[in-house]
């Protein structure tokens, strides 16, 4: 099983605990694992086409959370006319992946760094659902040229 799949399964496992056993640590780790599952899915998909297998881990280390966020936000702000030859429904699916990435990153940041915020199961399950949905959406567009271009752009710091 790929690392990103393991992280998604781990988040789900944490959320399946009985209510009496469920702690803030479980909820926070589930949210964090859901974000990292999507983060590592996108990196894995981006490095998959690198021809030298032995270099893929080093290439994967080049991806930065902030750059990936800014690229995702730019995609969300772009008009549909920015993708003239792509089916608008397919662009909307890619935008959903980008939106889930941004939302999960925000949730992960809150879960990991804002100890004054108390999480409940519903909120953590919602974050997990974003990741699971992003995985499913990505699976439907992953072979499209525009989706592959998005992956490459995640590695490149956008110019303002």
Mean pLDDT of 108-118: 97
Q: What proportion of the chain, given as a percentage, has pLDDT over 90?
A: 76
In contact, 93 and 137? CB cutoff 8 Å: yes
pLDDT band at 52 (very low <50, low <70, confident <90, very high): confident
Average pLDDT of the chain, as a whole number:
92
Give the torsion through C-alpha atoms of 88, 92, 94, 99, to 10 deg. Answer: 160
Specify the pLDDT at position 32.
98
Fold assignment, 3-153: 1.20.120
Residue-range domain boundaries for the chain: 3-153
Specify the pLDDT at position 79.
76
In contact, 24 and 119? CB cutoff 8 Å: yes
Please indicate, yes or no, whether the overall pTM of this predicted structure exceeds 0.85. yes
Of the candidates 84, 94, 105, which has an alpha carbon nearest to the alpha carbon of residue 139?
94
- Tokens read off for 3: 């690392």
Block residue for tokens 């429904």: 89
Mean pLDDT of 28-52: 92
């Amino acid at each position: 099983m790929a690392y990103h799949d393991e992280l998604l399964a781990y988040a789900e496992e944490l959320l399946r605990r009985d209510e009496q056993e469920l702690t803030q640590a479980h909820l926070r780790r589930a949210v964090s694992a859901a974000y990292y599952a999507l983060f590592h899915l996108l990196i894995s998909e981006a490095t998959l086409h690198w021809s030298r297998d032995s270099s893929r881990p080093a290439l994967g280390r080049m991806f930065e959370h902030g750059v990936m966020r800014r690229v995702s936000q730019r995609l969300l702000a772009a008009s549909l006319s920015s993708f003239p030859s792509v089916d608008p429904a397919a662009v909307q699916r890619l935008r959903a992946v980008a939106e889930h990435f941004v939302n999960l990153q925000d949730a992960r940041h809150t879960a990991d760094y804002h100890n004054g915020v108390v999480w409940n199961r519903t909120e953590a399950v919602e974050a997990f659902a974003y990741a699971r949905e992003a995985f499913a959406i990505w699976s439907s567009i992953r072979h499209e040229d525009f989706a592959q271009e998005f992956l490459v752009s995640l590695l490149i710091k956008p110019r303002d």
